[in-house]
Chain A
């Protein structure tokens, strides 16, 4: 499998080029071609999943060629356990999202071309092992996302799109400066992330912390961590369904992925110094804050958006534990949140397509008319709640177990917040699906085959990972153990580990 990651990353871009060449008066053809261009990436992803060597901590499927020689910038891609998990998540969600977008009828060509560009950008971020390349892909994602929200979004799309753009761009500007300072920090100048590992040690502690914070803000905007989260509810509410799925399923993970890959790997000492306030405490605050906000929402989509903020808080808390359980739980939670939130947004999309509104108070008793829909919805809500037997249970328990050993006080707060989570989810379940059926919705059709095809794969994964979490844990274990050691060793010694 030569250059498999390169193929995976750029095949969707090729698809985008093909889509652009198709005549715009044949939307059906465009949609099918778009779906077809996401499938090879998914197939390669499955193959990668099977062939991935779970024992080694080294980067695999590495592809490296010089790109800009005078600055030692390489086209350098590869995966370890963390990134392959994210790559798989992306490769899985994209075909489902294309399928979920078949209802788009305005500017079909542009929509799917941009979507495929977005997929290339996302995969690129996860496979890039050169900081410069990482940054390029990070920015490449920005534009398609901006247009997908801004052109195909809801009534306040313009505002949401600009807010998304400005927040992310401001963050990446900080990343650029930190990146350059790291580059010039020591000889030989390099952007290669593996070679930068522990490079932070050449700076004095104060500079390290400043660098760490600059990078942290860039990533925290994506997570999104309070107080950088305000773009998220707007973006989610206005974005079309499939884009919400991508936003919550993949883009938010880039924040925590970036923290693990860049902040943890390159600046271990500062990570240990600052993790308590900026990750553990802030993460716990996110959990409680997101849950409380979710309780107050009347819009179903906004509720799911705030639940995302809450759930990403667990990832931050787990990362800050520096114990194997905590960090493994955090990455598992990233994957699980990706599937469960995707499922939730798809479900919201289904009902929105039928009722053309998302007011929780406007529904009721849907269980009677849409039994299959209700079944999937119940599964998704219970999974989000962290019910045993479903995927999020394992990851949240791991996070809490891991965090307990280091931050017991915060862990108690985070664990108590589960009551809030259960509260808003059950309450919503009751208001929308149970109770008296509104006359207007007596004749709503149940989910059709296409919608079911988008929902079932995700539901199956949620079930499967609830029973057998090792499918993911085995992938990430070795790499995360290594990273965790690196942070602790790097911080203890105060020098770059070789």
Chain B
């Protein structure tokens, strides 16, 4: 019998995931005793903020621990902070949104914290086993969150669809990892990276990589693995949808980018062709289908598919420019999408989702703050300078052109033009369509409005001064 040796562990590296996990446990326990939803919300906020500060203090550290399977580097920190900030914004949104829904706050916030812990694991994972672990921790939490509003039929249905397709994707992930393991004899990305060059089982390796693309394609909602997205995004509670569209997708990409650009970097010529097609399809199908939507939440679901396509363009471009652009785009995309879902949440109320374009008629004048911020988000998603969305697209397409993917860049740019049609339709509804004169008092939504304003401010700031954020993304990517 071999002696099992525990490897030396750098506990600092697991600080972010440790703190969020503890937060989740504390919240689950507190949910049994504390009835006040607002207090639980504040505890979550403070917990996530403390974790974010602690994580930021780790900047500059670089270590790989748990026997080379878990990394603390700028790349992981970039994503950790992105997840934590997105989590904070989602909690702010939830503190207003949960009122009257009957969703138990303790469980909800606890699962939110666990989901973030899973994402952090994914961002740090340098080993396929750990990628899988992180993915499952995140996914299982989010399956439950999607169905958290148990009395709503569509929340139930969203949870089931998300679960079935998520589990299905897990099957592909595992089988793909198995094939890669068979071909290279390793789970660790650095060992895979050295082994891919001279493996005897090239076919098996390529099949494994293709399966991983399918699995990650499901998680980031790339065409043709996107079918679940509209139903799930529309049915889940809006705050959870925001979390899925932003943080879950970012986590998917965090692992996707690390595994593919680090582990399978040597196979770029093989997988980039497949991803090229998927990226083009994702952008086009997402945008074209979004054109047909009258429900804003569902339209945003298709829009999030299209944006995954833009990020895939950066991934295809690869190299320092492409990787940096992918990270930067995720940052930009997070704020504008969080804000847009925030506005959707703010306009709805229990029993009255108010999600169709008809419900948005005249909102610009009835609720000027929501009108202005939604205008910022829609224009940013379209890619109008000087907003953040433009900077993101600019870097992505620049990277694609730099690496010689002219056709893909042109497809992307044309897609931006198509997308303007449906984003502008929201503006038309808000400002140009006469709406019913409502005199009823609007409920006070201090937390929700804060989250929207924060997202709007970030969308403008990142757009006007992209250099600093770009630098962060660059540090992050180069630390891989």
Residues of A bordering B, CB below 8 Å: 67-71, 107, 135-136, 139-140, 142-143, 146-147, 150-151, 157-158, 161-162, 165-166, 169-170, 173, 176-177, 180-181, 183-184
Contact assessment for A158 and B417 in the assembled complex, using a CB-CB cutoff below 8 Å: no
- Whether B471 is near chain A, meaning CB under 8 Å from some CB there, is yes
Q: Mark B91-106, 1 if CB is under 8 A from A, else 0.
A: 0000000000000000
Contact A165–B470 (Cβ < 8 Å): no
A166 contact set on B, CB distance < 8 A: 417, 420-421, 424
Question: What's the Cα separation between A41 and B160 when bound, in Å?
Answer: 61
The closest CB in chain A to the CB of B400 belongs to A180
| A107 CA / B364 CA spacing, docked (Å) | 11
Nearest chain-B residue to A136 (Cβ)? B385
Chain A nearest CB from B365 CB (Å) reads 8
User: Are B401 and A181 in contact (CB-based, < 8 A)?
Assistant: yes
Q: Would A143 and B470 be within 8 Å (CB), given that A151-B431, A166-B421, A184-B401 are in contact?
A: no
Question: In the assembled complex, which residues on chain B have CB atoms less than 8 Å from the CB atom of A139?
Answer: 384-385, 390
* Contact between chains at B467 and A68 (CB < 8 Å): yes
Residue pair A180, B398 in contact (C-beta under 8 Å): yes
CA A135 to CA B384, docked complex, whole Å: 10
Give the shortest distance, in Å, between B463 (CB) and chain A (any CB): 9
The 0/1 profile, CB within 8 Å of A marked 1, for residues 355-388 of chain B is 0000000000100000000000001001011100
A143 touches B413 (CB 8 A): no
Kindly identify which residue among A69, A165, A177 contacts B409, using a CB–CB cutoff of 8 Å. A177
Q: Are B470 and A151 in contact (CB under 8 A)?
A: no
A142 to B375, CA, bound (A): 13
Shortest CB-to-CB span from B378 to chain A, Å, is: 10
- Selected A-B contacts with CB under 8 Å, 13 pairs: A70-B470, A70-B471, A136-B390, A139-B390, A143-B384, A151-B432, A158-B432, A166-B424, A169-B420, A176-B397, A180-B409, A181-B401, A184-B402
Q: How far, in whole Å, are A344 and B381 apart by their CA atoms in the complex?
A: 39
Q: Which of B400-432 contact A (CB under 8 A)?
A: 401-402, 406, 409-410, 413-414, 416-417, 420-421, 424, 427-428, 431-432
**Residue B474 at the chain A interface, CB threshold 8 Å:** yes
CA distance A181 to B401 in the complex (A): 7
Cβ–Cβ contact B431 & A150, under 8 A: yes
B90 to chain A, nearest CB (A): 29
Complex Cα spacing A219 to B4, Å: 71
B428, A173: Cβ atoms closer than 8 Å: no
- How distant is the Cα of A183 from the Cα of B413 in the complex, in angstroms? 16
10 more A-B residue pairs beyond the given contacts A67-B467, A173-B413, with a C-beta to C-beta distance below 8 A: A68-B467, A70-B467, A140-B384, A143-B379, A150-B432, A158-B428, A180-B398, A180-B401, A183-B398, A184-B398
B413 to A177, Cβ gap below 8 A? Answer: yes
Judged by a CB distance under 8 angstroms, whether B319 is at the interface is: no
Say whether A173 contacts B416, CB under 8 Å.
yes
A184 to B433, CA, bound (A): 44
CA distance A175 to B433 in the complex (A): 32
B466 contacts A by Cβ under 8 Å: yes
Using Cβ atoms and an 8 Å threshold, which residues of chain A touch B470?
A: 68, 70
Which of B416, B433, B466 lies in contact with A68, CB distance below 8 A?
Answer: B466
A255-B402 Cα distance, complex, nearest whole Å: 28
Closest to B409 in A: A177
A135 and chain B: residue at smallest CB distance: B385
Closest residue on chain A to residue B391 by CB atoms = A68
Collect the chain B residues with CB atoms within 8 Å of residue A140's CB. 384-386
Which residue on B lies nearest to A176, using beta carbons?
B413
A302 to chain B, nearest CB (A): 22
Q: Which 7 A-B residue pairs are closest in the complex by CB-CB distance?
A: A136-B385, A173-B417, A68-B467, A158-B432, A139-B385, A180-B401, A150-B432
What is the CB-to-nearest-CB distance from A214 to chain B, in angstroms, rounded to a whole number?
A: 10
Whether A142 pairs with B467 at a CB distance below 8 angstroms is no
Complex: A68 Cα to B474 Cα, angstroms = 13
Collect the chain B residues with CB atoms within 8 Å of residue A165's CB.
420, 424
With the chains together, A157 CA to B431 CA distance in Å? Answer: 12
Given A69-B467, A140-B385, A169-B417: A180 touches B431 (CB 8 Å cut-off): no
Contacting pair A173 B432 (CB below 8 A): no
Which residue of the partner chain A has the closest CB to B324?
A70
Q: Are A162 and B424 in contact (CB under 8 A)?
A: yes
CB <8 Å contact, B386 and A136: yes
Tell me whether A180 and B467 are in contact (CB under 8 A): no
Question: Binary interface profile of B, 466-477, with partner A (CB < 8 Å = 1, else 0)?
Answer: 110011001000
CB distance from B381 to the nearest CB of A (A): 13
Bound CA span A181–B402, Å: 9
Contacts of B382 in A (CB 8 A): 169
A183 to B379, CA, bound (A): 25
Tell me the minimal C-beta distance from B456 to chain A in angstroms.
14
What is the CB-to-nearest-CB distance from A462 to chain B, in angstroms, rounded to a whole number?
A: 36
Bound Cα distance from A181 to B410, whole angstroms = 11
The CA of A70 and the CA of B398, in the complex, are separated in Å by 12
In the bound assembly, the distance between CA atoms of A187 and B394 in angstroms comes to: 19
Separation of A183 and B421 alpha carbons in the complex (Å): 28
> Which residues of A sit under 8 angstroms from B424, Cβ to Cβ?
146, 162, 165-166
Q: In the assembly, what is the distance between CA of A151 and CA of B431, in Å?
A: 7
How many Å lie between the Cα of A146 and that of B470 in the bound state? 30
Q: Which residues of B contact A71 (CB under 8 A)?
A: 398
Shortest distance between the CB of A176 and any CB in chain B (Å): 6
Question: From B384, which residue of chain A is reached at the shortest CB distance?
Answer: A139
Q: Whole-angstrom distance from the CB of B387 to the nearest CB of chain A? A: 9
